[in-house]
Amino acid sequence: MFKSVERNLKHYDLIWEDRDVRYDVDSKQLKLRNGEFIVDKLHGIENTKGNREH
């Protein structure tokens, strides 16, 4: 029983959208899954963390 649960949990490691923001994602990972739909799109996002000029 535990082996089947462990196998299923490994599949969920691929789901990262709920806790991370990634800028370099492969387009295959951006495809919508069953039941998902686009709510909004953000364009021109720039990562400025640590890029402060004094």
Burial of 8-40, coded b for 16+ CB within 10 Å and e otherwise, reads eeeeeeeeeeeeeeeeeeeeeeeeeeeeeeeee
Mean pLDDT value across residues 35-46: 84
DSSP 2: H
Contact 49, 21 (CB under 8 A): no
Mean pLDDT value across residues 23-52: 79
User: What pLDDT score does 49 carry?
Assistant: 74
Supply the pTM of this predicted model: 0.34
Sign of the four-CA dihedral 14, 12, 31, 45: negative
